[in-house]
Structure 1
Amino acid sequence: MQDYLKAHQTWLVDFYQQRNWYRFSPLIRLNFLSEELGELSRAVRTIELGRDHPGEKVKNDAEKRANLKEELADCFDQLLIICSKYEIEPEELMALSEAKFTKRFEND
């Protein structure tokens, strides 16, 4: 998985650079991430509570799940770009997360 993660991040950075999107600072990227989190929130809300909004097409379960995956991917990609901007390997974050929780709950 780690090789696939690194390959995706490399592809993503190249894609953003080709479109001149990589130039945006981490602060601006954080704004983009906030926008994507809002879209993710709407996707989760649609699955969990439904939507009753005039003019919106009612989605079936497969469409709701596809939208959820799309929004998760968008958030994930913004995080990978922020990692790249600060030269932080995503694997470092996974290891840090595991170590933090292992230490925090080692007596459980």
Structure 2
Amino acid sequence: MNLKDHQKWLIDFYQQRHWYQYSPFIRLNFLTEETGELSRAIRAIEIGRDHPGEKQAGTSALRANLTEELADVLDQVLIISAKFGIDPETLLAQSEHKLQARFKDELKHRS
């Protein structure tokens, strides 16, 4: 599945659950929440969580949680981009264009 197909599937899924009607402003709050969960997943891998109420997770569980949280962040970005009519492929192209323009002199020296 590619980004466009996933975005279409996601929109359909969100519409069926009556989640799609939320504005981009509200979606930003959901993205912030998911980013916090991603932060917690990375912290657990990088420095651990010394919390007496939590059982220590194994490496595979930590990695599975990281993958899940990255996907949740991506889904929120795809929904927000759809709300503004921005194709996900445009996001990829914009990322490359911005970095290539910003670091063009550096990139020339590596070639």
TM-score using structure 1 length? 0.95
> Percent same amino acid among aligned pairs?
62
Alignment-derived partner of residue 79 in structure 2: 81
RMSD over aligned Cα atoms: 0.9
Match of 1:81, as an amino acid?
Answer: I
SS at match of 1:107: helix
SS at match of 2:2: helix
Q: What is the 5 A alignment of 1:51-70? A: 51-70=49-68
Q: How many pairs are equivalent?
A: 106
1:71 matches 2:72: no
Please, which runs of 5 or more residues in structure 1 have no aligned partner? Answer: none
Distance 1:56 1:24 in 2: 33
Please, which runs of 5 or more residues in structure 2 have no aligned partner? Answer: 107-111
Match of 1:46, as an amino acid?
Answer: A
Distance 2:33 2:77 in 1: 13
Which of 29, 32, 46 pairs up with 1:31? 29
